[in-house]
Chain A
Amino acid sequence: MSFNGYKDLIVEGESVILYLTINQFYILEAKTTTLSKKGVVVQNIFQTPYGSLACGDLIGKKYGTKIQLKKGWAYILQPTPEFWTELLPHRTQIIYTPDISMILLCLELKPTSIVIESGTGSGSLSHAIIRKIKPSGHLYTFDFHETRVDIARNEFKEHGLSQYVTVQTRDVCTDGFGKDLEGKADSVFLDLPQPWLAATFTSQVFKRGGGRLCSFSPCVEQVQKMCSALTNLGYQEIQTMEVLQSQFAIQKKKMSILNLDMLKTSNNKETVKNEKEFSNFITSVAPNTLPGHTGYLTLLLFHQHM
């Protein structure tokens, strides 16, 4: 339930972020017991590098507080879509926060929007869309992979988001989006290997007056094919872009300053040796390797007068 709105205290069954360090954080369920691999009810114990944690103990604790582990401590935080993107079990290639942010803004989503997404994939983008469109909007998300659909549906339920989302098994490239959605949507998002096949069905789903579409593709060829398909369908204002984020490591650095002036004269040898000079400064270092490509975002407008 913990993805729906702001919560103060951990309620039984909620997902909780256990934060140790910037590279060590986990998602777990605040439940006293769990099912083992063999299907037996066992105590829900989570192993961390700082010792084990009985997850049931978290119930009733306040989000944002510190908890003691055997060999150190950790913090418990309420999950956000951004944490989920970092932690979700990958079933497909996923979309990350910099692209997600751009998609949400450029699709002009608000708490009343009706959105169509395909494919659902691992549900990384879906969680962020839901945060943006609740309480009055709704997300219809499709994937042709039945197991993925079931897992995603289950996750939305566990995260307390079911009322804002409908997940369906459907190959939108061959079957379109269904009669029920005709004239319903404000925005459409496509992340498909051959998005132009689904594109032909998109013009029917928009509300009277039109809406916005975004297509995410990793390859230039896909983008080219998609752009010409959409132009033929009457889409306007095609804009293709990429966004890459780099994070800095911020460091305090110390650099020794060599005194070379003293070489010009023969005296004062000793005093100079003792006075070693340093320059202290703060700097941010970009990582040696960083994501150089995720995908191209193509954004368009569909408009028709009523």
Chain B
Amino acid sequence: MEETIKVGDYIIVQRQNYTKLHKLKGHGTILLGSFNIEMDNCIGERYFDTFQIKNVPNSKRNYTLEKIENLSLVSSNLNVEESGNDNRNIEADDNNQTMSSEEINKMKDEELSSNNIVEKLISNSKTFSTKTGFSQEKYIKKKSKKYCEYIQIRRPSIRLMAQMFYRQDPAKILGIRIDDLSQILTYSNIQSEGTHVLYDSGTSGLMSAALMETIGPNTTGKLIHMHPGNECQKVAFLAMEYPEEQRKRCINVNLYSVLRQFYQGNPGEGDSIEPNEQSSNAENQVTEEPDAKRRKVERPNWQVDNEEACELLKKGVHSIVITAKEHPVNIVDALEPFLLPSRNLVVFSTFKEPLEELYFHLKTKLNYLAVKLSTNFMRNYQVLPERTHPEVNMTNGGYLLTGIKIEQ
């Protein structure tokens, strides 16, 4: 992978623990918290480089980037001279900090330097010197984080994006936490070969990106990515910037359209297609008026994709993954006939109840064994000398139903 940051790249901008996905344009800006940052100065630099957010002179809340060559400057180098033994003399009081928020904001607008701001905050704090050493460290860390003026540019990865989407808004990825994603990938037994089916009703492209990464570059594996809408969501997929041969092996098709094609054959050969699909593929259909000869030969892209998907479905598929907002039973009924025997089905849901119904459906109506419903407990730890403990906040994951198809 090339190391240089270029215009057109998808990048992950990281400020402390906060990350944001961004497509780099020439003369573009990114909004990070309250900062509006011009990104041009990172173009041509390398991934992993650290940049300082610098005020643009004579403008309010406009910032630009400056590359940091000496990383040792980044770490906080505040000296603490005095600390207390415990908190017996500290009272909670709004007046402990004598600097007003206006004064702090003014400092921010003049020159963003977390070191200077934190130093000022400390010298204007009545209680800082009586805090314990640990407590002072925590204070400095918290404040430096708030006024941090450094960002790092990263290349997107499945791990970074899964964590980023979940932190920003779990609903963006149907509540799929990183442990859920990791287990979908193992329990589906997906690997670099075979044909795989994904039905995904909206994870910002994370699921198709993750499955295509597992299939990998220059392999024989293929993914039929079925989606319910006009266009599939694909931000995360595009962000991975897979080579063209790998991108092409992910066939994006509308769920309704591909199933109709499979059971009823080509549209236009008698049947008319439904308005939903017409609008969905309007972009492809309203191309320039080709002459009559060419029109017959050239079919819209979506139809070519449908045909390719149907050919693969006829041969049978090696895994089915469903990450759906909709009730899973009908989706499973529609897709599972394509699953080959001894191959795995994995269904994720934010809710347990639909999967309970699916469990009995698989056990009584269909041929599946080793059907299991599971959920995870996951937590992160703060690891510091003498201060190791679970992190204060934790999150909830979703539910996974897995099973193996058998031939009756």
Q: Is residue A303 within 8 Å, beta carbon to beta carbon, of the partner chain?
A: yes
Q: Are A77 and B404 in contact (CB under 8 A)?
A: yes
Give the B interface residue count (CB, 8 A): 59
> Is A105 a contact of B182 with CB atoms below 8 Å?
yes
Stretch binding the partner chain, chosen from B92-100, B183-191, B264-272, B280-288: B183-191
Distance A285 CA – B375 CA, assembled complex (angstroms): 12
Query: In the complex, what residues of A have CB within 8 A of residue B194's CB?
Result: 5-6
Asked if residues A64 and B406 are in contact (CB atoms below 8 Å), the reply is: yes
Which residue on A lies nearest to B14, using beta carbons? A237
Q: A100 an interface residue at 8 Å Cβ cutoff?
A: yes
Decide: B372 and A247 in contact? CB cutoff 8 A: yes
For the complex formed, measure the closest distance between the CB of B125 and the CB atoms of chain A, giving whole angstroms.
29
Across the interface, do A65 and B179 meet the contact criterion of CB distance under 8 Å? Answer: no
Instruction: Give Cα distance in the complex from A187 to B158, angstroms.
Output: 15
**Residues on B with beta carbons closer than 8 Å to the beta carbon of A112:** 216-217
Is the C-beta of B393 less than 8 angstroms from some C-beta in chain A?
Answer: no
* A135 lies within 8 A of chain B by Cβ: yes
For chain B residues 359-388, which have a beta carbon within 8 Å of chain A? Answer: 359-360, 369-370, 372-381, 383, 385, 388
CB distance from B114 to the nearest CB of A (A): 19
Contact among B157, B213, B373 for A250, CB-based, below 8 A = B373
Q: Are B186 and A104 in contact (CB under 8 A)?
A: yes
| Residue contact A244 to B405, C-beta cutoff 8 Å | no
The residue from A19, A111, A247, A298 contacting B369, defined by CB atoms under 8 A apart: A19
A64 touches B186 (CB 8 A): no
Write the chain A residue with the least CB distance to B340.
Answer: A64
What is the minimal beta-carbon distance from A127 to any residue of chain B, in angstroms?
11
Q: How far, in angstroms, from A104 to B162 measured CA to CA in the complex?
A: 14
Nearest residue (CB) in A for B162 is A105
- Provide the bound-state CA to CA distance between A298 and B373, in Å: 27
B381:A241 contact, CB within 8 angstroms? yes
Cβ–Cβ contact B186 & A82, under 8 A: yes
Q: Confirm or deny: A123 has a beta carbon within 8 angstroms of a beta carbon on chain B.
A: no
Q: Is A246 within 8 A of B179, CB to CB?
A: no
Q: Known: A135-B192, A250-B360. Is A102-B182 also a contact (CB below 8 A)?
A: yes
B309-362 contacts to A, CB under 8 A, are: 318, 340-344, 352-353, 356-357, 359-360
Contact partner, B385, options A22, A25, A102, A228, Cβ 8 Å: A228
Give every chain A residue within 8 A of B231 (Cβ-Cβ): none
Query: Considering only CB atoms, which chain B residue lies closest to A247 in the complex?
Result: B374
The distance in angstroms between the C-alpha atoms of A66 and B219, with both chains bound, is 32
B181 interface contact, C-beta 8 A: yes
Interface residues as binary, A194-206 with B (CB distance below 8 Å gives 1, 0 otherwise): 0000000000000
Contacts of B167 in A (CB 8 A): none
Asked whether, in the complex, the Cβ of B372 is within 8 Å of the Cβ of A132, the reply is no
Most chain B CB within 10 A, of A105, A112, A227, is at A105
Shortest Cβ distance from residue A249 to the other chain B in the assembled complex, whole angstroms: 9
The yes or no answer to B112 lying at the interface (CB within 8 A) is no
Question: For residues 8 through 39 of chain A, which have their beta carbon under 8 Å from a beta carbon of chain B?
Answer: 8, 19, 22, 25
Say whether B122 faces chain A, with CB atoms less than 8 Å apart. no
Q: Is the CB of A250 within 8 A of B356?
A: yes
Smallest Cβ distance from B5 to chain A, in angstroms? Answer: 13
B85 on the A face (CB < 8 A): no
**Which listed residue (B193, B218, B378) contacts A5, Cβ 8 A?**
B193
Mark contacts of A167-208 with chain B using CB atoms, 8 A cut-off: 1 yes-contact digit, 0 otherwise: 000000000000000000000000000000000000000000
Separation in Å of the B398 CB from the closest CB of chain A? 13
Q: What is the CA–CA distance of A63 and B189 in the complex, to the nearest angstrom?
A: 15
Docked-complex contact B186 and A97, CB < 8 angstroms: yes
B159 touches A65 (CB 8 A): no
| A223 CB-CB contact with B under 8 Å | yes
Contact A81-B374, Cβ < 8 Å, known A5-B193, A111-B219, A284-B352: no
Neighbouring B residues of A239 by C-beta, 8 Å: 380
With beta carbons under 8 angstroms apart, the residue of B192, B376, B404, B408 that contacts A245 is B376
Q: Could you tell me the dominant secondary structure of chain B's interface residues?
A: mixed
Asked if B383 and A105 sit within 8 Å, CB to CB, the answer is no
Q: Which residues does chain B contribute within 8 Å of A136, judged by CB atoms?
A: 216, 218-219
Q: In the bound complex, how far is the Cα of B96 from the Cα of A284, in angstroms?
A: 52
Q: For A8, list chain B residues within 8 Å (CB).
A: 340
Q: How far is the CB of B348 from chain A (nearest CB, A)?
A: 13
Question: Is B343's CB under 8 angstroms from A6's CB?
Answer: yes
Kindly state whether residue A106 has any CB partner on chain B within 8 Å.
Answer: yes
- Provide the residues of chain A in CB contact with B159, threshold 8 Å: 105-106, 108
Contact of B356 among A98, A284, A303 (CB under 8 A): A284
Contact of B214 among A82, A110, A224, A247 (CB under 8 A): A110
Known: A82-B189, A247-B373. A63 touches B342 (CB 8 A): yes
B215 within 8 A of A: yes
With A62-B407, A82-B189, A220-B388 already in contact, the answer to whether A111 and B380 are too (CB < 8 A) is no
Please give, as numbers and ranges, the residues of chain B lying within 8 Å of A248 by CB-CB distance: 352, 373-375
A64 in contact with B342 (CB, 8 Å) = yes
> Please, which residues of chain A bring their CB within 8 A of the CB of B344?
80
Cα distance, A25 to B377, chains bound together (Å): 27
Residues in A whose Cβ lies below 8 Å from that of B142: none
C-alpha gap A296/B383 in the complex (Å): 11
The smallest beta-carbon distance between A250 and chain B, in angstroms, is 5
CA distance A135 to B179 in the complex (A): 25
In the assembled complex, the Cα of A76 lies from the Cα of B406 at a distance in Å of 9
Judging by beta carbons under 8 Å apart, are A97 and B183 in contact?
Answer: yes
In the complex, chain A residues 213-249 whose Cβ is within 8 Å of any chain B Cβ: 220, 223-224, 227-228, 238-248
Q: How far is the CB of B190 from chain A (nearest CB, A)?
A: 9
Q: How far is the CA of A204 from the CA of B318 in the complex (A)?
A: 39
CA distance A41 to B9 in the complex (A): 63
| Proximity string of chain A (90-123) to chain B, C-beta cutoff 8 Å, 1 when within and 0 when not | 0000000110111011101011100000000000
**Given A19-B370, A247-B373, is A242 in contact with B341 using a C-beta cutoff of 8 Å?**
no
> Which B-chain residue is minimally distant from A132 (CB atoms)?
B214
Interface string of B163-192 (1 = CB under 8 A from A): 000000000000000110111011101011
Q: Is A138 an interface residue (CB 8 A)?
A: no
Q: Does B46 contact A (CB under 8 A)?
A: yes
Partner of A101, one of B46, B179, B215, B352: B179
Other than the known A82-B189, A102-B178, what 16 A-B pairs have Cβ atoms closer than 8 Å?
A: A6-B340, A64-B405, A64-B407, A78-B342, A81-B186, A110-B214, A110-B216, A134-B191, A136-B216, A223-B388, A227-B383, A241-B381, A244-B377, A246-B374, A250-B360, A250-B373
User: Mind listing 9 A-B residue pairs with CB under 8 Å?
Assistant: A6-B318, A75-B406, A80-B344, A101-B186, A105-B158, A105-B185, A106-B178, A110-B214, A111-B217
